[in-house]
Amino acid sequence: MMTEEITPWLAKLSAGDPRAAQVIWDRYFERLVRYARRKLDGLPRRVQDEEDVALSAMHSFCRGMRAGRFERVEHGDDLWKLRVTIAARKAFAQRRRGFAEKRGAGRRRQPS
């Protein structure tokens, strides 16, 4: 993967450089969408889909980097592992909400 290429952008992102966020976005967003799609498999996508999960994960990651919460993210491998963890948690939360009893406990409804 592009580990060496992404490493300098992590420090720039921590410093608040918006270009760094764009570079990281360009490299990882589609891959994160595919990951989120697998995590949401079988869940109706009426309220939130895999792109929403990936967007939310990207936003949380960038906000956390700027706030200094992810000090151990030093290279691309760390970055991907952290992104996957964030996306998995967001997908799990979405699945939990989607299967909540007040939402029909996972039963499919008629399209709106």
Residue-range domain boundaries for the chain: 3-101
Q: What is the value of pTM for the model shown?
A: 0.70
Tell me: pLDDT of 66 over 50. yes
Rounded to the nearest angstrom, the gap between the alpha carbon of residue 30 and the centroid of all alpha carbons in its chain is 10
Residue 1's pLDDT band (cuts 50, 70, 90): very low
CATH class for the region spanning 3-101 = mainly alpha
Q: What is the pLDDT of residue 23?
A: 92
* CA 34 – CA 39 distance, rounded (Å): 9
Where do the H-state alpha helices sit in the chain? 3-14, 18-39, 50-66, 76-98
Q: What is the mean pLDDT of residues 57-61?
A: 89
